[in-house]
Structures are given as C-alpha cells and as structure tokens.
Structure 1
C-alpha cells in the first residue's frame, strides 16, 4: 500500500510541475533574433488587412479555442486604444501557409509585427493586456 501512495504522489508532483511550466509560458513574449526579423516580413496582402503604422498583432486562432476569444478581445481593445497599432485575427486552419512558415504549434499564437511588417516576436497562449503592452515595449521598432 505504501508504494502505491508514493507512486500517486509522484505522478501528482510531476503533473503540478508540468502545469506550472505550461502556465508560465502563456502570454510570454519571445523576441525574434535581429537577422530572423529582417528575413520574416509580412505584407498587407499576406494578412488580408492593412498593417498598423507602429505595430500589428497578427493572431492565429482556431474555432474551438476559448483563450483565442479572450486574447482577441484584449488585443482588439488595445489596438482601438493605441493609435498606429492594429490587430488582425486569422483562422489557423484557413492559413496553413502561415502556420507552417512560423512554426505555430498552438493557438492562440500572436506574431508582433513592426510598422514595416517585420516579425519582431511572438506571444503564445492566452495573453493579457499587460503582456501585450510589455511585448510592444520590448520591441524597439514598435515602442510608442
């Protein structure tokens, strides 16, 4: 009986650690390397919408994704509040070219573009307003 309890406790400990790691990665901004950002550029034609003069949040979402809806609301409100910032949401299942090109493994994934369409970084998972603002501040080309 004692061994079974230890196994259950071990499994629970691993699950808790895995959950904490997963949670810590939600909304975390990862900046693109300088050479990578220069190579990865998107145009209004790629997005089907105009770029923001200062920055664009390109959100890749899926239909059955609750964090996608909350992230879209956060980014849409932020874009409405900040001149020069745009939010474009696309369905990942309809834009597999972008999913493959940017190695999107989960939704929502948000690419942060500068005014010229260069990818300056990405956010993955549910994103808060503060995380989105931090992403803008950490991108010199997009800082307001």
Structure 2
C-alpha cells in the first residue's frame, strides 16, 4: 500500500475522531471544582471550615476586582467570554441574552477575551465562547466551552 495513502487514512480517522469528540463535548456544562460542591459530608465541611458559619470563609466573587462587580444577578449570572471573530460567540450571546430575559434574577455579562487577557488567564479560559454560570455571590457553579443550547443553559441555571 502507498505510504501517502496510509498517512491520508490516519489523518482522516484522527479528524473524524476529533470532530466526534467536539460534537459530544461542545457547549456541555461541567461542574466547578470548589470546596462548596454539593454532597460534601459534614466531616468534609468541618475540614473546610463550613460546618460553623461564623468560621466559614466569606466567598469572594470572581468579578470582585473587575468593572462588572456590580452587575451580578440576584440569583445567577451568565458570564460569557467571546472574541470579535468568533461566529459561535454571536449565537451564544443571543441564547444567553434570551435566557437572562426570561429567567428572573439572572443577568448576562459578556467579556471580550482579547481585551481582558489577565482575567482570561486568571479564570483559565482556553477558548471562546466560554460560558461560566455564577451564583448570587459571584462564585462559579459550572462552565461550558463552546456554544451551549438554551436547554443546556436552563439546566445549568437550575444548579445555581
């Protein structure tokens, strides 16, 4: 068999595998890894200082040191990172805006990733669009890389 044909077949298989993986994972919300994760046992809460509310550390909003610190929603905030030439970002903006209009207490904040690189690095944003669902205190509940559907956003908000 021709070596060029073998290389072509390997590349086609790899591209199809990558495409399938992206199709399955794009826009899916994943739970945030935080000490406030649901289901923690009383022993874990005691170790984290959460058993005694007076000793528990006060949560600090992800947006505390930014221009959006006063724009948090009463119940949740949809924080979107996008860039100028990102086509899925426009669809995500529309979906998140619609959800923020129909769900009381939810706000939508869009951040231009290119203009706010320090925040992008701090939050570990790897691609646009990335949507982070924040609770009322500004703490991350879940995030999705890629364009989520309206149903995925509403399900993620239910967790917040």
The number of equivalent residue pairs is 139
Could you state the TM-score of these two structures normalised by the residue count of structure 1? 0.85
**Contact 1:44-1:50 within 8 A present in 2 as well:** no
Task: Give the corresponding residue for 2:25.
Answer: 25
In structure 2, distance between residues paired with 1:68 and 1:36: 30
Using the TM superposition, give the Cα deviation of residue 50 of structure 1 relative to its aligned residue in structure 2, in angstroms: 1.4
SS of the residue corresponding to residue 80 of structure 1 reads helix
Q: What is the CA–CA distance in structure 2 between the aligned matches of 1:47 and 1:26, rounded to whole Å?
A: 29
Displacement over 3 Å in runs of 4+: 1-7, 36-40
Distance 1:36 1:97 in 2: 25
Matched, 1:104 2:125: yes
C-alpha offsets along residues 41-78 of structure 1, whole Å, 9 cap, x if unaligned?
23466252511111100001100000000000000000
Q: CA, structure 1 residues 21+64, in 2 after alignment: closer, same or farther (shift >3 Å)?
A: same
Residues in 2 aligned to 1:64 and 1:44: alpha-carbon distance in whole angstroms:
28
Deviation of 1:87 after TM superposition, in Å, equals: 0.6
Residue equivalent to 1:127: 148
1:70 matched residue in structure 2: 91
Per the normalisation by structure 2, the TM-score is 0.77
- Give the CA deviation at 1:36: 7.2
What is the root-mean-square deviation of aligned Cα atoms in Å? 2.1
Gaps of 5+ in 1: none
Equivalence map 1:46-61=2 (5 Å): 46-48=66-68, 49-61=70-82
Instruction: Structure 2: give runs of 5+ residues left out of the alignment.
Output: 38-57
- Bigger radius of gyration: 2
Q: In the TM superposition, what is the alpha-carbon distance from 1:14 to its structure 2 partner? A: 1.3
More helix by share: 1
